[in-house]
């Protein structure tokens, strides 16, 4: 019986100089869930992502994936453990082709594979399947940098799937994307979730968060201020205050 919680973040903190970006924050992501991470700008969501994926070492606290501690691993090692992420501002290998962008994340180990053929037949087939999923097969040989912003976002998302992660961290998947594309992304996430993938999603688009997520964590000033089901979060006075300011202040 696998653990109920796939990702456990315990009391992590990260300060940049005097600014406490994340301050003694704990949260869990349940296996098979879509968990939302929301909060006003600068509340520490992306910093938390960067710690979970190994880009910043936390100042204190622990992070564990399937009960294994991962806070001291390299980003590449964490990726190999099964966490995939997208970036707030889409990052692709701009001058490489779409297909190459899909192939780079393929997990491989050992010296023999390192010097084996870069793009293998079965990898290419898998890449084409995933490109088909996001409807971009015709761009396989285009330079990634030449595609539109929304297409790049979809490619980044599809490329993450090439490494077959258990847990996928999406940093603002709907940011700057047109409404039709947002529908498409929501559908994709939902489908993949049905197939057993777990998601942790940072997003400002509240409709997406409320419709998609089963569990929501709210951060403000680096601290967790609320946690619960979407309906409960929507009516939580602390959350409303963090987002809109308190009614008292609004009057003055």
Cβ-in-10-Å burial (0-12, 13-18, 19+) of 87 comes to middle
Q: Which of 7, 21, 160, 216 binds other proteins (CB under 8 A)?
A: 160
100 binding other proteins? (CB under 8 A) = yes
Q: Which stretch binds other proteins (CB under 8 A): 70-78, 198-206, 224-232, 238-246?
A: 70-78
The pair phi, psi for residue 140, each rounded to 5°, is: -55, -35
140 binding other proteins? (CB under 8 A) = no
Q: Which stretch binds other proteins (CB under 8 A): 4-12, 37-45, 86-94, 192-200?
A: 86-94
Nearer to other proteins, 83 or 218 (CB): 83
126 binding other proteins? (CB under 8 A) = no
Shortest approach of other proteins to residue 164 CB, angstroms? Answer: 11
Site for other proteins in 184-223 (CB under 8 A): none
Shortest approach of other proteins to residue 218 CB, angstroms? Answer: 26
Q: Residue 244's CB: how many other CB atoms inside 10 A? A: 11
79 binding other proteins? (CB under 8 A) = yes
Shortest approach of other proteins to residue 80 CB, angstroms? Answer: 5
Site for other proteins in 15-54 (CB under 8 A): 53
How many Å separate Cα 103 from the centre of its chain? 20
Report the relative pairing of strands 68-69 and 215-220 from DSSP bridges.
Answer: unpaired
Shortest approach of other proteins to residue 120 CB, angstroms? Answer: 9
Sign, CA torsion 59/82/136/212: negative
121 binding other proteins? (CB under 8 A) = no
116 binding other proteins? (CB under 8 A) = yes
- What is the Cα–Cα distance from 14 to 182, expressed in whole angstroms? 32
Shortest approach of other proteins to residue 74 CB, angstroms? Answer: 7
- What is the Cα–Cα distance from 68 to 75, expressed in whole angstroms? 15
Residue pair 65/71 in contact (Cβ under 8 Å)? The answer is no
Nearer to other proteins, 54 or 58 (CB): 54
Beta bridge partners of 224: 219
Cα angle at 218 between 12 and 203, to 5 degrees?
A: 105
**Tokens coding 142:** 């285009």
Shortest approach of other proteins to residue 233 CB, angstroms? Answer: 29
Shortest approach of other proteins to residue 27 CB, angstroms? Answer: 21
- What is the Cα–Cα distance from 84 to 65, expressed in whole angstroms? 12
Contact positions vs other proteins (CB under 8 A): 53, 55, 74-77, 79-80, 84-85, 87, 91-96, 100, 103-108, 113-119, 159-160, 163
């Amino acid at each position: 019986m696998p653990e109920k919680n796939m990702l456990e973040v315990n009391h992590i903190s990260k300060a940049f100089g005097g600014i406490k970006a994340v301050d003694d924050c704990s949260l869990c992501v349940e296996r098979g869930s879509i968990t939302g991470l929301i909060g006003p700008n600068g509340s520490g969501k992306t910093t938390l992502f960067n710690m979970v994926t190994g880009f910043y070492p936390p100042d204190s606290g622990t992070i564990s994936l399937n009960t294994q501690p991962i806070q001291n691993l390299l980003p590449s090692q964490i990726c190999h453990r099964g966490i995939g992420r997208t970036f707030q501002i889409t990052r692709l290998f701009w001058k490489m082709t779409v297909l190459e962008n899909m192939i780079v994340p393929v997990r491989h180990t050992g010296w023999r594979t390192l010097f084996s053929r870069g793009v293998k037949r079965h990898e290419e087939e898998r890449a084409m399947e995933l490109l088909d999923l996001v409807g971009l097969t015709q761009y396989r040989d285009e330079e990634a940098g030449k595609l539109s912003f929304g297409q790049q976002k979809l490619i980044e998302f599809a490329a993450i799937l090439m490494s077959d992660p258990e847990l996928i961290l999406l940093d603002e998947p709907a940011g700057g994307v047109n409404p039709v594309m947002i529908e498409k992304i929501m559908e994709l996430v939902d489908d993949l979730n049905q197939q057993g993938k777990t998601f942790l999603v940072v997003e400002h688009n509240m409709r997406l968060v409320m419709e998609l997520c089963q569990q929501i964590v709210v951060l403000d000033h680096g601290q967790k201020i609320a946690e619960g089901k979407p309906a409960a979060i929507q009516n939580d006075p602390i959350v409303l205050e963090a987002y809109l300011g308190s009614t008292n202040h609004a009057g003055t």
